[in-house]
Amino acid sequence: MTTIKIALLGFGTVAQGTFNLLQDNAELIRNRTGVNVEISKIFVRNPDKYSHITLPETAQYVTDIDEGLKDDSIQMVVELMGGTNFAKDCVEGALKAKKNVVTANKDLLAEAGPYLLDLASKNGVDLRFEASVLGGIPIIRTLYESLAGNRITEIIGIMNGTTNFILTKMSEEGLEYNDVLSDAQAKGYAERNPDADVEGYDACRKIAILASLATEKTVSYDDIYTEGITKITDIDFKYAEKMGTSIKLFGTSRIKDGKVSAYVAPVMISKNNPLYSVNDVFNGIVVKGNMLGTSMFYGSGAGKLPTASAVVADIIEAVQNIDKNVPLGWTDEKQEILPMDQTKFRYFIRVAGSYRNKEQELNEYFGKAEVVELYGMDEFAILTKEMTEGELKAAASAFDTKAQSRSEYGIKQMIRAAL
Ligand code: NDP
Ligand code: HSE
């Protein structure tokens, strides 16, 4: 039986999961592929850190990257270090050496996806990155393979496990986000830099990759409006509970009349929304295709083994196409994104202070809005009608100016709502 040798770059959470999975399911993978997939070299900075892990005789730690990239017996490189500088050099080097590459690195794909895919194509090998978006949910393969006959019109998802875990705990246990973050980090879900999760950057990279695959162009993450969960408080969840709603961090991309909108932001949703029940570290994504209609995918979006499961699926696909490049249709043509000011939402707005005739005063600025009150609070909330973000900003600014001129407090919070 042929053996395909792999160099694993990095040996953290996902890499160790991949190592375990390839060992535990070795026979199954041999039967499915007809080849023996073998981790031959593991590139690490400090092998002592991993001395507690017993390697098979066929595998060894190396501290010189060239031992992985320049070894002709290695046909595949699996990059699981993260980051965009050194990881990019390694992926470039591997592709130029005509080695297939599998990675879980969304930052790298969002930054250099089309360039690296083109490099893979020129060298007759594949670059696969299923684990980079939604961990264990096979959404990337779904877009380029299962839904290849569709024009994708909408992608809405809970794409970050860490923030969904935090928001779920805040909602169910009334905790603040800082109290829950360390728990997510200990469980191996969180990125090295926690800002990547809580400020929405991770979800932004993921929706940039999905929107690029959907449009077959390049959606730059810099063009995607991104707001994380750091301003969401326990009080917001108290209103949400009263209203029978929840607050989730959404990554969204919509394609309408040839125009593409994309954003990452917390959104208030009702119980009827299919993503309402996606809780804890789970991810969920709703995809609309012009022929498909609507489909929803749900599962583990982060963590050692779910992510390793996606990495190994890519390894298997690359093994099956070891001598050829299979294009994914993601090109480097820039996809313009509609300014956020033109995107429409309803808005949940909390207003500090007491007003004599709340509805009437607020209607003047926001049009007809529903008022929501919590017992014993020196504030109230409104739910506006649908309007563009530009209209909302203008109304909010005028309202705040008036409130301040009367020594009232004005707007405390604004959360977009899909109700
Ligand atoms: P970890 O921090 O657990 O592991 C990273 C590994 O890479 C460590 O072994 C680290 O070594 C090594 N490494 C980092 N930088 C370098 C470098 N410059 N040179 C050599 N080795 C380096 O990360 P994860 O396993 O969680 O994540 C890996 C990738 O997978 C990231 O791109 C992440 O975004 C992605 N991902 C992670 C998911 C998860 O649930 N954890 C889910 C989906 C994707 P050292 O210990 O020496 O620092
Ligand atoms: N930090 C990421 C998350 C890992 O929490 O979803 C998966 O990409």
Q: How far is CA 205 from CA 133, 144, 192, 202, 231, in A?
A: 9, 18, 15, 5, 21
Ligand 2, closest atom to CA 165? 5
Query: Does pLDDT of 334 surpass 80?
Result: yes
**Span 184-210, average pLDDT:** 91
Helix H or strand E segment including 37: strand 35-43
What pLDDT sits at residue 360? 80
Q: Which two tokens stand for residue 169?
A: 């705990």
Q: What is the pTM of this model?
A: 0.96
Nearest Cα to 113, choosing from 250, 217, 249?
217
Which residue has a Cα nearest atom 30 of ligand 1?
104
**Span 232-253, average pLDDT:** 96
Cβ-based burial of 376 (10 A; exposed 0-12, middle 13-18, buried ≥19): exposed
Please tell me the number of the ligand nearest to residue 161's CA.
Answer: 2
Q: Which two tokens stand for residue 419?
A: 């109700």
Confidence tier at 269 by pLDDT (50, 70, 90): very high
Cβ-based burial of 76 (10 A; exposed 0-12, middle 13-18, buried ≥19): buried
What pLDDT sits at residue 192? 82
Query: Does pLDDT of 273 surpass 90?
Result: yes
Backbone angles phi, psi at 356, to 5 degrees: -65, -45
Q: Which two tokens stand for residue 252?
A: 């969204």
Ligand 2 centroid to 102 CA: how many Å? 17
In short, whether 231's Cβ falls inside 6 Å of ligand 1 is no
User: Where would I find the H helices in 160-303?
Assistant: 161-173, 177-186, 195-198, 201-215, 234-243
Query: Does pLDDT of 134 surpass 80?
Result: yes
Query: Does pLDDT of 62 surpass 80?
Result: yes
Ligand 2 centroid to 238 CA: how many Å? 27
What pLDDT sits at residue 43? 98
* Beta-carbon count within 10 A of 67 CB: 16
Cβ distance 25 to 59 under 8 Å?
A: no
Query: Does pLDDT of 90 surpass 90?
Result: yes
What rounded mean pLDDT belongs to the chain? 94
Q: Which two tokens stand for residue 321?
A: 């196409």
Confidence tier at 306 by pLDDT (50, 70, 90): very high
